[in-house]
Amino acid sequence: MKGYIEFRNGSYRVRFGREIQKRFKHEEDAERFLTGLRFKADENTLDARDYSRTNPLSVENQAVLWLRTKTAASRSHYRNLERWMHLAISAWKDRNVKTIGYGDLQDLIDAQPVSDKTKHDMADCYHQFFKWLNKREKIPVPDIPEYKYTLGWREIIDLETQAAIIEEVGRIAPFRVWLGIKWLATYIAIRPAEMRALRERDVNLNGMLVCRPQATKEKKPKLVPMLEEDIELLGSLPPALPDVPFFRWPNGKQLDAHAFYRWWKKACANLGIEGVDLYGGTRHSSTTAMAAIFGKDDLKRSGTMHGTNKAFDRYCQGEAAPSLKIYDQLRRRQKADVVQLTSRKAASPHK
């Protein structure tokens, strides 16, 4: 018969194989524990880790290990994962991960004073955690609560209004802030954070903006062809070392995370335009305008480049041309709106 009980120094010690040992004050408690171990061994469900003093399968221990696998995530995404896993640790610290079920997850998530979108993201975080546990430790994935949500609406504007805002940014903001916002409205494949992360070596006279994997949301390289006029503009700028941030203040420091947004909102306020954020006013508005011309599928494939992850040579040969066609058409329309805007200003009696 598996396992045995020994009496030593006034206590009863259960030994079961080499890995399981536990002390009891009373013999009947020791016998009950040993019977339970034998039963689990007979049905092939015994896991010695469940009885280890170090508690390796505790929520805390496993959460720490899982977070280490996520260090390559973006800073903001990792902060969210870390915050949600620490909520789980606070709620279930020493509990065995096998004992966490649907109700535990639902109670924890519902107790947080956050939006439905955040609750959905929390549930997804815990789902990822348990899928990782399943692969690593063969632990069943519990049912995960579902949270439906509706994304907030981003206000978009026509290209004429966009041109007016960009013109005002150029009037009030440092040159590289204006250039970054102008490029966000043209090169719609690039997000604001990706634009700000560009270094001098990533903006080159060969006509390519190179968003490196660590800077992109998809963690994949993004190669965006540039219009000829922007290449010429680059040639007029003073040279700098390769690792210097391209979008920087006059003192050489990289633009802060909210620089583009802050100057965009200042320009909007000066023009009396309300409710239009940077993302909606540049990328979303330009994308909407171009979708009417090129169609959503072509725009997604070549303009916004969702899911693009091609080798550099293949990209330059195969996909740069349609992307440039979209960007060129967009820039032409933006320029036309600037001309119209300037003409109306010149004709206005209220100069």
Asked whether the predicted pLDDT for residue 10 surpasses 90, the reply is: no
Q: What is the pLDDT of residue 254?
A: 96
Encode pLDDT of 237-289 as tens digits. 998 999 999 999 999 999 999 999 999 999 999 999 998 999 899 988 888 87
What are the extents of the domains in the chain? 4-51, 59-137, 159-344
Q: What is the pLDDT of residue 325?
A: 75
Encode pLDDT of 114-171 as tens digits. 999 999 999 999 999 999 999 998 888 999 999 998 776 678 888 899 999 999 999 9
Asked whether the predicted pLDDT for residue 290 surpasses 90, the reply is: no
Contacts with 344 (C-beta within 8 Å, 6 or more apart), sequence order:
none
Share of the chain above pLDDT 90, in %: 47
Q: What is the pLDDT of residue 313?
A: 37
Asked whether the predicted pLDDT for residue 205 surpasses 90, the reply is: no
Q: Which CATH number fits domain 159-344: 1.10.287, 1.25.40, 1.10.3470, 1.10.443?
A: 1.10.443
Q: What is the pLDDT of residue 308?
A: 42
Counting Cα atoms < 13 Å in the Cβ hemisphere of 235 gives 10
Encode pLDDT of 224-241 as tens digits. 999 999 999 998 999 899
Q: What is the pLDDT of residue 156?
A: 85
Q: What is the pLDDT of residue 348?
A: 56
Q: What is the pLDDT of residue 81?
A: 95
Neighbouring C-beta atoms of residue 26, cutoff 10 Å: 10
The least confident of 20-24, 47-51, 162-166, 212-216 is 47-51
Q: What is the mean pLDDT of residues 199-223?
A: 86
Q: What is the pLDDT of residue 46?
A: 63
Encode pLDDT of 26-57 as tens digits. 777 777 766 776 766 666 766 666 666 766 78
Task: Quote the mean pLDDT of the chain.
Answer: 82
**Long-range CB contact pairs, 323-329, < 8 A, 24+:** 323/189, 323/224, 323/225, 324/225, 324/227, 326/188, 326/290, 326/294, 326/298, 326/299, 326/302, 327/186, 327/187, 327/188, 327/225, 327/227, 327/303, 328/227, 329/290, 329/293, 329/294
Encode pLDDT of 73-115 as tens digits. 777 889 999 999 999 999 998 898 989 999 999 999 999 999 9
Asked whether the predicted pLDDT for residue 323 surpasses 70, the reply is: no
Q: What is the pLDDT of residue 4?
A: 63
Helix (H, G, I), strand (E, B) or coil at 8: strand
pLDDT confidence tier of residue 302, bands split at 50, 70 and 90: very low
Q: What is the pLDDT of residue 75?
A: 78
CATH class of residue range 59-137: mainly alpha
Asked whether the predicted pLDDT for residue 24 surpasses 90, the reply is: no
Amino acid at 275: G
pTM of the model as a whole: 0.61
Nearest to 222 by CA among 233, 232, 212, 235: 212
Q: What is the pLDDT of residue 322?
A: 54
Amino acid at 120: H
Query: What are 188's two structure tokens?
Result: 């719609």
